[in-house]
Amino acid sequence: MQVWAIANQKGGVGKTTTVVTLAGLLAEVGYNVLMIDLDPHGSLTSYFHYDPDELDHSVYDLFVTQNEITQNQVNSLLCSTSVDRIQLMPASTAMATLERRAIDHQGMGLQVAKALRHVKDRYDFVLIDSPPVLGVLMVNALAACHHLIVPAQTEFLALKGLERMVRTISMINRARKKKLNYTIIPTFYDRRTQASVSCLRELHKCYPDELSSAVIPVDTKFRNASMKGVVPSSLDAGSRGVHAYARLLRSLIEQRR
Ligand SMILES: Nc1ncnc2c1ncn2[C@@H]1O[C@H](COP(=O)(O)OP(=O)(O)OP(=O)(O)O)[C@@H](O)[C@H]1O
Ligand SMILES: [Mg+2]
């Protein structure tokens, strides 16, 4: 089982879209995929038509349990989606309160990693959608993953957010035994705009080793897929956006070998 976290401290850069699109592409080639929504806003959860305000069980449960996390508890968190091979561990809005609680409860950084031990034979890939805030939830995502994917919007304001994220990765690496490798993916790329073109050039200059060669273009199909609650590749497998994510996926799987 491979665990990838998708994170950036900047909002609206395409994190949730990256999770959903990669999950769809992985399922298409026969992999079993678990998506975990760690964002209290629950965009990924809402995407698949679950209401983060109404759920009986969510990732929240992992953080308020008094005892060891059990197999049954993890099973109770798994929800089906519109795709057979993809399951979801949903978020609830109550997770917004966790950041405050975490100060009282030391050692909350490994709850997701501990839960994943119970499903390691069931899934080939786990994709974790992280909130755009550095706190206990993002720390859980970074601690549980083997590889980190950082979507970065190709505009100059996003570069600042990316610098912050890279500093966070260095901080996390000081605490981890094994170095966390990451891939930056340029998103919302529009080659007709000077802002996109020069931002991509800057990304190449600053992060030559981490930058993905796959560039995700602006593509309205992503929004259409999210409105329908389906993975983008099932709505339009030939779209430019899906093609770019397929290229990204090939390079990520290649790196893993
Ligand atoms: N490449 C793209 N082209 C066009 N629209 C996109 C693209 N990627 C994402 N979007 C749309 O932009 C919006 C924000 O994307 P998304 O929710 O994936 O970002 P996010 O980083 O998860 O945001 P947040 O920080 O709020 O969780 C969504 O409506 C999504 O459909
Ligand atoms: Mg999101």
Distance, in Å, from the CA atom of 129 to the CA atom of 86, rounded to the nearest integer, reads: 14
Spell out the domains of the chain, with CATH numbers in brackets: 2-256 (3.40.50.300)
DSSP letter, residue 218? P
What are the structure tokens assigned to 99, written together?
């950041």
Mean per-residue pLDDT, 41-66: 96
Task: Calculate mean pLDDT across residues 215-233.
Answer: 97
Say yes or no: CB of residue 187 within 6 Å of ligand 1.
yes
- For ligand 1, atom 14, name the residue with the nearest CA: 12
pLDDT score, position 107? 77
Beta strands in the chain (DSSP E): 2-6, 33-37, 79-80, 86-89, 125-129, 147-153, 181-187
Q: Would you give the end-to-end CA distance of the chain in angstroms?
A: 13
Closest ligand to Cα 226? 1
- Work out the angle between the directed axes of helices 194-206 and 156-175 (0-180°, nearest 10): 30
Q: Is the CB of 13 under 6 A from ligand 1?
A: yes
Distance 10 CA to ligand 2 centre (A): 10
Please say whether the dihedral angle defined by the alpha carbons of residues 137, 143, 148 and 152, taken in this order, is positive or negative.
positive
Kindly give the number of the ligand 1 atom that is closest to the alpha carbon of 18. 18
Between 151 and 99, the more confident residue is 151
What pLDDT score was predicted for residue 106?
Answer: 65
C-alpha span between 57 and 92 (Å, rounded): 8
Please give the distance, rounded to the nearest whole angstrom, from the Cα atom of residue 229 to the centre of ligand 2: 14
pTM for this entry: 0.97
Distance, in Å, from the CA atom of 257 to the CA atom of 252, rounded to the nearest integer, reads: 9
Residue closest via CA to ligand 1's atom 16 equals 14
Indicate the pLDDT class of residue 103, thresholds 50, 70 and 90: low
Q: Which among 17, 155, 162, 184 is the best mutation to test ligand 1's pocket, defined by most ligand atoms within 8 Å of the CB?
A: 17
pLDDT band at 65 (very low <50, low <70, confident <90, very high): confident
- Between CA 251 and CA 192 the distance in angstroms is 26
Task: State residue 66's pLDDT score.
Answer: 81
Could you tell me the distance, in angstroms and rounded to a whole number, from the CA of residue 131 to the centre of ligand 2? Answer: 7
Is residue 60's pLDDT more than 90? yes
Q: Considering just the CA atoms, what is the radius of gyration of the chain in Å?
A: 17
Looking at residue 178, its pLDDT comes to: 86
* Mean pLDDT over each residue of the chain, to the nearest integer: 94
Residues contacting residue 242 through CB under 8 Å, at least 6 positions apart:
21, 25, 221, 232, 233, 236
DSSP per-residue string spanning 17-55: HHHHHHHHHHHHTT--EEEEE--TT-HHHHHTT--TTT-
Distance from Cα 25 to the centre of ligand 2, integer Å: 19
Cα 88 to middle of ligand 2, angstroms: 14
Q: What is the pLDDT at residue 177? A: 82
Is a pLDDT exceeding 90 seen at residue 250?
yes
